[in-house]
Amino acid sequence: MTDNREHNDQSKQEVELSSGVSRKQFMKNIGGAMLSGGLLAGLPLGNKSAKAASASNGRGRPDAPKVDRVAADPRDIPSPITRNRPVTHDITLESKDVISEIEPGVEFKYMTYGGQVPGPMIRVRKGDKVNLTFKNNSQNTLLHNVDFHAVYGTGGGSKATLCPPGQTKELHFKLMYPGAFIYHCAVPKLDEHIASGMYGMIVVEPQEGLPEVDHEFYLGQHETYTNKDAGEKGFHELDTEAMKSEDPTYVLLNGEKKALTEERYGAMETEVGDTARIFMVTGGPNLTSSFHAIGNVWTKAWREGAIASEPEEYVQTCHVAPGSCGIFEMDFPVPEKSFLVDHALSRYNHKGMLGVIKVEGKEQPHIFDPQS
């Protein structure tokens, strides 16, 4: 049985990219770079200078459509579920490799679902069924697939959906348990694909639904490992050795440095007295987030997105493991700018991990009164 309304809810996830394709190649002078890397070892160059030399593999910048933005809009979320019966959803998820900027001047080849990081949020209800169509965009160059943590079955569906560029696979599954779950690419080099942005979230609401809130925001943290220093202009290639050492160049919220702040695409916005729910997914591939809202607190926290369990209350900082999620409720009793960070603070201070929630409204000096 297919419910068309639900089908429409989900169809927004088939994002079409505007593709200003750039095909320029930036071949590197590898020999020279290696030479200077060797001779200058120990000198106070940028940390990655030797690494860049040794990690480059002779590829130029790869071919892929160039896009202006990969950061998912945190407000682009399917509506909460209000029905009390199961439905079947037709959902299409498409992998799209794109070139975009981690921060201005820093280009990177992202691998994505739907051209965004994290990939489109899917929202279903325990007991629902999904007819999934997975497309590997014909402009891509590698095998891709999708592993859903919400699904019982080999590879969470990754074996069934594995396909080369230009092809399509189908998978049908039933949601047997509630929670917020990651989906991610799970080809043999899965850590590289996730470090390139290939992860998203499927929310399986419990049959009784979720508490009403005024706002919902969709966020994803992942880290990437490149052959240049953070902030160094140019095209950054993935650095496998740094990834094996779990020593990232960037730790990102929604795929770009400080994407959800006023200096990029704008802060998230609420008002005094509002409530919000954060759907947070950590792609990793390797790092655990110590997720914290500066100047605020998680009123309720469902660790690992395990919504069937009782939430913890008034949690200042909550781990979100790589390959896991968190659901967090917030109150906004005062006007403020709340900074969302990984409280492993060097990731905020040096690697780009920051989002902002702006709370507008009347000062509440009986609660918070700066004497400036």
Least distance to a second copy from the beta carbon of 339, Å? 8
**Contact (Cβ atoms closer than 8 angstroms) between residue 356 and residue 264:** no
Query: Does position 21 bind a second copy by CB under 8 A?
Result: no
Give the footprint of a second copy on residues 94-123 (CB under 8 A). none
Q: Which of 65, 78, 284, 355 binds a second copy (CB under 8 A)?
A: 284
Residue reference for tokens 């709340």: 338
Q: Based on the shown chain and the rule CB under 8 A, indicate whether residue 29 belongs to the binding site for a second copy.
A: no
> Could you say whether residue 153 binds a second copy (CB under 8 A)?
yes
- 333 binding a second copy? (CB under 8 A): yes
Q: Does 344 bind a second copy (CB under 8 A)?
A: yes
Number of C-beta neighbours around residue 323 at 10 A: 20
Among 5, 62, 104, 152, binds a second copy (CB under 8 A): 152
175-194 residues near a second copy, rule: CB under 8 A: 176-179, 181-182, 186, 188-191, 194
Interface with a second copy includes 297 (CB under 8 A)? Answer: yes
Q: Which is nearer to a second copy, 77 or 287 (CB)?
A: 287
Cβ atoms within 10 A of the Cβ of 83, count?
Answer: 12
**How big is the site for a second copy, counted in residues (CB under 8 A)?**
108
Reported residue count of the chain is 372
CB of 194 to a second copy, least distance (A): 7
Tell me the window of 1-9, 80-88, 208-216, 340-348 that interacts with a second copy (CB under 8 A).
Answer: 340-348
Site for a second copy contains 69 (CB under 8 A):
no
Stretch that binds a second copy, among 72-80, 88-96, 97-105, 165-173 (CB under 8 A): 165-173
Q: Which range of residues in 3-11, 20-28, 115-123, 343-351 is near a second copy by CB under 8 A?
A: 343-351
What Cα–Cα distance (Å) separates residue 346 from each residue in 104, 110, 249?
A: 20, 23, 11
125 binds a second copy (CB under 8 A): no
Question: What distance in Å separates the CA atoms of residue 54 and residue 269, rounded to the nearest whole number?
Answer: 44
Instruction: Indicate which single residue of 149, 228, 236, 264 sits in contact with a second copy (rule: CB under 8 A).
Output: 149
Distance CA 268, CA 73 (A): 9
**Residue choice 9, 101, 128, 304 for contact with a second copy (CB under 8 A):** 304
Task: Characterize 214-248 residue by residue with b for buried, 16 or more Cβ atoms within 10 angstroms of its Cβ, and e for exposed.
Answer: ebbbbbbbbbbbbbbbbbbeebbbbbbebbeeeeb
Q: Give the separation between CA 312 and CA 314, rounded to whole angstroms.
A: 7
Q: State CA 229 to chain mean position distance.
A: 21
Indicate the residue among 80 and 335 with the shorter CB distance to a second copy.
Answer: 335
Q: Which residue has the tokens 């709370």?
A: 359
Of residues 75-94, which lie at the interface with a second copy (CB under 8 A)? none
244 binds a second copy (CB under 8 A): yes
One of 5, 41, 68, 233 touching a second copy (CB under 8 A):
41
**Backbone torsions φ then ψ of 240, nearest 5 degrees:** -65, -35
The 202-241 contact track toward a second copy, x by CB under 8 A, reads ---------------------------------------x
213 contact partners, CB below 8 Å, separation of at least 6: 275, 276, 277, 329
Using rule CB under 8 A, residue 2 touches a second copy = no
- 92: enclosing H helix or E strand: strand 88-103
The single residue among 4, 24, 29, 44 that binds a second copy, judged by CB under 8 A, is 44
Q: Is 31 in the site for a second copy (CB under 8 A)?
A: no
The residues, any chain, with a CB within 8 Å of residue 108's CB and separated by 6 or more, are: 99, 100, 101, 102, 196, 224, 226, 235, 236
At residue 190, the 3 state secondary structure works out as helix
Span interacting with a second copy, options 63-71, 102-110, 207-215, 342-350, rule CB under 8 A? 342-350
Pick left, alpha or beta for residue 210 (phi over 0 → left; psi -120 to 50 → alpha; otherwise beta).
beta
Is the omega angle on the peptide bond into residue 188 within 30 degrees of 0, that is, cis? no
Smallest separation (angstroms) from a second copy to the CB of 246: 7
